[in-house]
Chains A and B, each alone.
Chain A
Amino acid sequence: MTMLTNNGLVYLIALPLFGALSLLLLGRRADKWGHLLATGLSAGSFAVGLFQLSEMLGREAESRPVTQKIFTWISVGSFNVDASLLLDQLSICFVLLITGVGTLIHVYSISYMSHDPDRRRFFAFLNLFIAAMLLLVLGDSYLNLYVGWEGVGLASYLLIGFWNQKPAYATASKKAFIMNRIGDMGLSLAIMIAFASLGTVSFSGVKEQAHQASEATMTAIGIMLLVAAVGKSAQFPLQAWLGDAMAGPTPVSALIHAATMVTAGVYLIVRSNFVFDAAPTAQLLVVIVGAITLMFGALVGTAKDDIKKALAASTMSQIGYMILASGLGPAGYAFAIMHLLTHGFFKAGMFLGAGSVMHGMNDEVNMRRYGALRKFMPITFITFGFGYLAIIGVPPFAGFYSKDMIIETALNAGGVKGILLGSTALLGAAITAFYMTRVMILTFTSPKRWDDNQHPHESPILMWLPMAILAIGSVTSGFLLSRGATLKHWLEPLFEEHGEHIELLPPIVVSGLALLMVAMGVALAVVKYQLSEVDAVAPENVTEFTRVARRDLLQDEINETLFMRPGQAITSALVKIDQSVIDGAVHGIGKMALGSGSFLRKSQTGFVRSYAALILIGAVALIAAIWVVTT
């Protein structure tokens, strides 16, 4: 069956790309209207996405995917890669999430960044990000995906370090970039293995060969893809950059480091379902990574006083849920994507809410200096509150549906594995409820702990409107996506059929258990923070666990001891070898060439008579040479 083609796909990417290029090239001339152009183009891309969705809904399930070939990118012998786009049931979800949430965040940023002299540059980078992220989810081969993958990495780097006049922020952007490189290396290795052993790098090509190829090959590809996903999605053990990435402006944290880019790893794994289905070992690793990260993030989240870092830890943990689900095979893919979408709404909304709080509190981020903000920022409180209810999984808010499904699928994975994963997911839900309630109480409902020169106030409409829209999403998206298993059926044609459905516990019991865990978490937080006094300064006499959790469970110390210092030692040793041995050889050859050049140069006397003689000699030699050959 040949796929339908649609020449409109390229506009999805072209619009924001055009915005990024024109804002960067026009420079200061675009300062006055650049943000409006960028927002308009992002909205335009969203409109194209909606149009594509309506087209797609009009077709039968098997003919829904469409492609567009833009140009022949590489054509070497039998190896062909076209720069082609593929829009199917999976990528349309991402397209709408990226452009929809992206546009809301553009609108929010118009106001949030209004006092920044570099607002135009900020919007240029936002558009660049949207374009790159769309390319990532629309590429029809691993190589095209890789271009977008690197593009979002670049945009993330530029935006984390947007205020690079502060050395700490510049360092944070560098850290994110370098840790991402490890993941990127995994992706490029996966592509190379696929090319070397399967001879193709397109999704459809790899899918066709997934069954014939040896399991070892598929496992190698799968593990490398997992490394890539781990880097981009801040999963254990490459999670350390996400907290520092909060140095970027808050809309960036909402868009890139909560709703979209960090979920690219989940996309990669779900997109590569055929690889993981054929490689059980790699699939098991995916689940393990997901489970560890969801606990890791949740534990870190309990100790953070910086509101953005607490949310970042929570993002890490929630993506852990998604990775866990995507490692559960065909049963989990749809739920991973569902949680990804609902998380896109509520986490983006909460980050925007955090930005709104910071906006009203002179950029204060320490929650111990907040308190009682409910009165001063009612809209922020309500929208943030909806996000909060969604993330901890209270019905009927979005997170309830998506997280519940993941817990249930994990429990039903079978055997000891199922019980271990299920209870980890349940425990994670309890901890999530605890630390999110803590955030809520410290910020909004506990007594005020700020001094009198703070004048908290509600944010302007351009900021609260996007928050309100996202809050509506936080309330409704879970119900809408899971009612009648809409999303599951929508995505079904892309995945392999999965086998018999085992049920360890009936769904209603699982939901009950989950709600019980959540209630316990909430209760503990209420007792600890609402009913007892909170210090305005972080207390020093705390347990060893809190101390370690505050330092992100020692992730930086471990990285520095295990990788940075040995790496530096190797580098300096290599530099020495390079200088003495390799440079020595190169310079030696260079000197030799220079010597012979200087010698030959003497033939250039400047006299016409010697030049003419040279020509004559040359002519005679030429005749002689031809003569010798001929006779």
Chain B
Amino acid sequence: MITFVSPTLDYALLAPILIVLGGALIGVLIEAFAPRSARASSQLFITLATLALSLASLVRVRSGASTTAAMESVTFDGAGVLLQGSILLIAIISVFLLADLDNFTALAAALPGSDEERTSLQQDLKVTEVYPLTLFAVAGMLLFPVATDLVTLFVALEMLSLPLYLLAGLSRRRRLMSQESALKYFLLGAFSSAFFLMGIAYLYGYSAAVSFSGIHAAVIGGTGNDIYLLLGIAFLSVGLLFKVGAVPFHAWSPDVYQGAPTAVTAFMAAATKVAAFGAMLRIFYLSFAEAYWQWRPALIVIALITMVFGSLVAIAQRDVKRMLAYSSIAHAGFLLSGVIALNKSGLDASIFYLFAYGVATVGAFAIVTLVRDSAGEVTDLNRWSGLGKRSPWVATAFAGFLLAFAGIPLTSGFIGKFSIFSAAYESGSTAILITGVLSSAIAAFFYIRVIVLMFFKDPVEDGTSVVIPSVYTQITIAISAVVTFALGIYPTPLINFIQSTAQFLR
């Protein structure tokens, strides 16, 4: 007989997530009731306050003992808190970028090219819905890496994905392209979610449990039908690999990165990666670790293909946003080596890498928003030539982020790559090490090509200029640049902190 036990939720532990959800709801209410003129500023304030409050309560949670909450469906442990902290920090600097509402369409519901659109543009409307949507996505992202049962994991996945689908379609310029990319993202996302759900079903079939610990127990016990485990891992991986943009599940990302408003791309590229890799690390380290001989070879192959493919195709790109998209694919490959490493140093390195990469990504996209002509952002790389002569600071900052992506010493990227590859090597994956270093070298080729283009070519006279960044964008760029270089020059405190904190609680 099944007795129903009323669930005990540990609100104190869930506070960081609940605060973000509360802030999002307040944002919705502001959309409904506040006068148009007051929305932009109050939404920005509410969003930042929510995120800051959430971060503060996260710090409080950290000091509490690692434990589970909400009937063991989520677990707050060192690694989870670090990942959540990274997501919140990245979200905060991205929100400053969102605050430049000129990048967003005036009225999302208006058809492109319709009279309605024209009127809304004349009235100078702004879609302030961006803020609550972002907060909903952040809440999902916060839940994703701490979820410890498959159902919660799936809920979190959808919670973070749905707002992102909408956000991707809100670009002010080239709206058709933006909406197309949003639709693509949605369709493919739904498709991969189906795989994910199927994987959950098989894993339940295998272990008769949805909790990570239950699956772990089944794997150790070895009583289940291994075919189900195999199918479960494979299907679940498809869903997760889709989110992180690993080859061959990457195809959406260049189109979406290019079509989405750049501020959204920045947030999505940085924060989604942290959340998705966080969840992936947790489930592979906690549930599938003992079955590593089954999945590891396949995952190694995927990691290798992803690194090489991302680096090679990035070279051929002529659009800066697509180039960054392929670069992010290559980085997904590098990050997979942290999952494959399956040891403590792999976990530490992944967390450091995710944070460092996320911050640099937001900074790089923030700079993309600054290079414009009369029709909006200029993403054609050829027109970036000579940027260093016209706007030395902007070009220098961009060069810094590119060097971080390339993993050049004195940037955070170097420390990240160094530690993640050494972790992979430690676990015996020499192939990962060699391919990783080689594709980093290929990748350096196109990053440095852009730097050469900016600094050593003559400017083209076609009206491309760098707009003077708003204070908000300046904050984003400044924080990203400082973090990127600080972590490159003096990473020891953060590394020590991660080493002493990061662990998964089973």
Contact = CB atoms under 8 A, between A and B. Distances in A.
B231 interface: yes
B230 A630 contact: yes
B312 A593 contact: yes
Contact of B297 (A594, A604, A629): A629
B217 interface: no
Contact of A614 (B248, B254, B293, B312): B248
Interface stretch (A152-160, A161-169, A595-603): A595-603
Interface string B217-246: 000000000100011011101100110000
A195 B41 CA distance: 59
B195 A623 contact: no
Interface string A358-394: 0000000000000000000000000000000000000
B182 to A, nearest CB: 12
Interface stretch (B71-79, B183-191, B208-216): B183-191
A590 interface: yes
A619 B254 CA distance: 20
A481 B298 CA distance: 78
Interface centre among B252, B297, B313 (most CB of A within 10 A): B313
B301 interface: yes
A563 interface: no
Contacts of B492: 72, 75
Contact of A594 (B187, B230, B238, B316): B316
User: What size tier do the contact residues of chain A reach?
Assistant: 20 to 34
Given A608-B187, A611-B188, A611-B251, A630 B234 contact: no
B294 interface: yes
Contacts of B234: 619, 622-623, 626
Contacts of B241: 618
B204 interface: no
B314 A615 contact: no
Contact of B316 (A597, A612, A614, A619): A597
Interface string A607-631: 0101110110111011101110110
Contacts of A608: 183-184, 187-188
Interface centre among B192, B230, B311, B317 (most CB of A within 10 A): B230
B297 A625 contact: yes
A593 B298 contact: no
B52 to A, nearest CB: 27
A415 interface: no
Contacts of A615: 188, 191-192, 195, 238, 242, 248-249, 251
A606 interface: yes
Contacts of A612: 187-188, 191
Given A615-B188, A626-B298, A593 B249 contact: no
B188 A600 contact: no
A451 B323 CA distance: 71
Contacts of A603: 251
B298 A618 contact: no
B255 interface: yes
Interface string B96-119: 000000000000000000000000
A615 B192 CA distance: 8
User: What size tier do the contact residues of chain B reach?
Assistant: 35 or more
B315 interface: yes
A593 B237 contact: no
A601 B230 contact: no
A611 B253 CA distance: 11
Contacts of A630: 226, 230, 294
Interface in B279-318: 293-295, 297-298, 301-302, 309, 311-317
A309 B175 CA distance: 71
Contacts of A629: 293-294, 297-298
Contacts of A619: 195, 234-235, 238
B26 interface: no
Contacts of A593: 311-312, 315, 442, 445
A560 B316 CA distance: 48
Given A593-B312, A593-B442, A594-B316, A626 B295 contact: yes
Contacts of B314: 597
Contact of A601 (B297, B298, B313): B313
Interface centre among A596, A597, A600, A622 (most CB of B within 10 A): A622
Given A597-B315, A615-B248, A625 B301 contact: yes
B252 A611 contact: yes
Given A611-B184, A611-B188, A615-B188, A626 B233 contact: yes
A289 to B, nearest CB: 37
A593 B448 CA distance: 14
Contact of A600 (B183, B235, B237, B309): B309
Contacts of B231: 623
Interface in B458-506: 492
Interface of A: 72, 75, 590, 593-594, 596-598, 600-601, 603-604, 606, 608, 610-612, 614-615, 617-619, 621-623, 625-627, 629-630
Given A593-B315, A597-B315, A606-B255, 11 more contacts: A597-B316, A600-B309, A600-B316, A603-B251, A608-B187, A611-B184, A614-B248, A622-B237, A625-B297, A629-B293, A630-B226
Interface of B: 183-184, 187-188, 191-192, 195, 226, 230-231, 233-235, 237-238, 241-242, 247-249, 251-252, 254-255, 293-295, 297-298, 301-302, 309, 311-317, 442, 445, 492
